[in-house]
Amino acid sequence: MKSKIVCIGDELLIGQTINTNAAWLGEILFEQGINVKESICISDTKEAIVDTLSNVGADIELVLITGGLGPTVDDITKQVLCDFFETELVRNEEVLKQIEAFFEQRNRGMLESNKRQADLPKSAIILENKIGTASGMWFEKKGVIYVAMPGVPSEMKKLVSEQVIPRLLERGVLPNQVYKTVLTQGIGESFLVEKIEAWQNQLLKEGFKLAYLPSIGQVRVRIGAEGKSKIELSNLIEQKVEELKKIIPEYIFGYDKQTMQEVVGNLLIQNNATIGTAESCTGGYLAHLITSTPGASKYYLGSIISYDNAIKSKLLGVDEAIIEEHGAVSEPVVIQMANALKAQMGVDYAISFSGVAGPDGGTDAKPVGMIWLAIATPEKTFTKLLQLGTNRKKNIAMASLTALNLLRLELIKALNL
């Protein structure tokens, strides 16, 4: 089944709102084995809507439309849909009751424009919006299904999950597809491709699908298969993942929707261990990353951010003579930072950084992108030197992810002792 996503709204076109609806829809359609051929944003005008609906493409069988269904006058979508599907708006008494109940429940007064939300196309199957006032509408025309939904993300998501997908499943039009994403860290896309080329070629030969999805500091490898039984497909993919794990064990940190900070957090819990951080050039980003996972207080105790060199001595007790001799961006300094943090906080593990995040502030000896990191474990303290680019944001993210991945490997070792 081939599909198209149509998002209506000027706020999307001119960048006032980032189109997260399209991404969410793309993901759920993809997971159901529905090919998303195109995703388009258009203006809230009759011309644009009619033009788009009239030209969805020859092989499209499903069109999901979001936006343009609010109670305000500039939302004209509903009338345009009536014209396109050659039907008319009629007041739906059942929906009107739901809207009235909606406002009553919230102790809010109801305007005439809210009542008009119960005026719905006669030929459409109405999909009840349980958390809002704009109903979903399911149309069919010449073998193509069109579903129009409100643009409010929570309302649209509920309609799709609870009504649109179940209706499609009922029809038996969805194929059996299974995907699994392998998350890697510490190796660039082109080096990864080179390392796993033989595996990749065999995989493609056997009819699997493969995609590389790079983002800052990570490359995701997505394996897909299509066939008759989902269980069988899952097993086939698992075998391929097992093969991959043997080729690049040190780079794989997780699967599918996991994040590095979650994986490390779970390993800390399994080790019954705590962690603290001593940041400098990363300026709190690592602390922020770790604490973006709810429940991080189980293992994360805190950080001393010594952005200024004097603070490295004053609060972390780094030897001033060492800073003078080697400079703040040096291996001896990050070792002292990690050890001091670990001792002061009484944590089991500590991560420290000192570097030149950029875009300026580099010297010949210590160029922008040079970042030292140290990891203190219960047994030892070790370091790594990164030589990154000039993009401050990227450097900070890369250093943080690299440190977490090194910590991850230590935590796995500790579990197996």
Nearest distance in Å: CB 50, a second copy: 14
Contacts of 206 (CB under 8 A, 6+ apart): none
Window 103-142: residues binding a second copy (CB under 8 A): 106-108, 111, 113-114, 131
Region binding a second copy by CB under 8 A among candidate stretches 30-38, 61-69, 159-167, 329-337: 30-38
Region binding a second copy by CB under 8 A among candidate stretches 28-36, 82-90, 91-99, 240-248: 28-36
Query: Residue written as tokens 């030897």?
Result: 319
Omega before 294 within 30 of 0, i.e. cis: no
Region binding a second copy by CB under 8 A among candidate stretches 141-149, 262-270, 279-287, 376-384: 279-287
Please report whether residue 407 would count as binding a second copy according to CB under 8 A. Answer: no
22: enclosing H helix or E strand? helix 20-31
Cross-strand bridge partners of residue 145: 62, 140
**CA atoms of 79 and 89, how far apart (whole Å):** 7
Q: Print the binding letters for residues 300-319 with a second copy: x by CB under 8 A, - otherwise.
A: xxxxxxxxx-xx--xx----
Please report whether residue 63 would count as binding a second copy according to CB under 8 A. Answer: no
**CA atoms of 127 and 121, how far apart (whole Å):** 12
Please report whether residue 354 would count as binding a second copy according to CB under 8 A. Answer: no
Window 235-274: residues binding a second copy (CB under 8 A): none
Q: 137-151 as b/e, with b when 16 or more CB fall inside 10 Å?
A: bbbeeeebbbbbbbb
- The CB density around residue 18, as the number of other CB atoms within 10 Å, is 10
Q: Which of 11, 119, 226, 331 binds a second copy (CB under 8 A)?
A: 11
Cross-strand bridge partners of residue 278: 304, 352
Q: Which of 1, 26, 248, 332 binds a second copy (CB under 8 A)?
A: 26
Number of residues that bind a second copy (CB under 8 A): 99
Nearest distance in Å: CB 344, a second copy: 6
Question: ∠409-411-414 over CA atoms, to 5°?
Answer: 110
Please report whether residue 383 would count as binding a second copy according to CB under 8 A. Answer: no
Nearest distance in Å: CB 364, a second copy: 13
